[in-house]
């Protein structure tokens, strides 16, 4: 699967792109730095009308606007303002990453606090699921 990197690891800036044309629409500050590169799976449309969201579990520098080939290794259930907004968890080809309790805690902590500055915004992390669940999620929302 191909992933468009929207936000770099370590950044407090959330970039918003038109997820079909990839044109930058706006930038906004977030309350927590992104723990891993974050973006979306190309050629998908999720329930919320945006592409399927994706964290790339790597320590390599991936820059905003970069498109990378990835392999799905898991799925983090997420609910934003009561709506399903799950995140695929992926790695770069040749890299090995496991969904350790530390990685899960880092991701859950991030989603619980990334929008602390937005009054009334509620994001919940749900269960962490395996690569098969991630593949099913991607397949369900392929364009």
What is the DSSP annotation of the chain? -EEEEEE-TT--EEEEE-TTT--EEEEEE-SS--SS-EEEETTB--TTSSPEEEEE--SS---TT-EEE-EEEEEEEEEETTEE--EEEEE-TT------HHHHHHHHHHHHHTTTTSTT--EEEEEEE-HHHHHHHHHHTB-
With bands split at pLDDT 50, 70 and 90, how would you rate the model's confidence at 64? very high
Residue-wise pLDDT for 75-120, tens only, equals 999 998 888 889 999 999 999 888 899 999 999 999 998 988 888 8
With bands split at pLDDT 50, 70 and 90, how would you rate the model's confidence at 72? very high
How many folded domains does the chain comprise?
A: 1
Predicted pLDDT at 105: 96
122: CATH: 3.90.80.10
| Domain carrying residue 65 | 2-140
CA-CA distance, 26 to 104, in Å (whole number)? 29
Predicted pLDDT at 36: 97
């Amino acid at each position: 699967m191909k992933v468009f990197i929207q936000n770099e690891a370590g950044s407090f800036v959330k970039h918003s792109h038109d997820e079909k044309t990839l044109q930058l629409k706006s930038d906004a500050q977030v309350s927590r730095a992104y723990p891993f590169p974050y973006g979306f799976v190309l050629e998908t449309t999720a329930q919320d009308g945006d592409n399927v969201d994706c964290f790339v579990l790597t320590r390599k520098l991936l820059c905003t606007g970069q498109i990378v080939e990835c392999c799905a290794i898991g799925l983090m259930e997420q609910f934003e303002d009561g709506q399903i907004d799950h995140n695929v968890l992926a790695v770069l080809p040749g890299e090995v990453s496991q969904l350790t309790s530390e990685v899960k805690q880092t991701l859950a902590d991030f989603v619980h606090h990334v929008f602390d500055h937005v009054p009334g915004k509620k994001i919940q992390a749900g269960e962490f699921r395996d690569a098969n669940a991630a593949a099913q999620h991607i397949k369900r929302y392929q364009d």
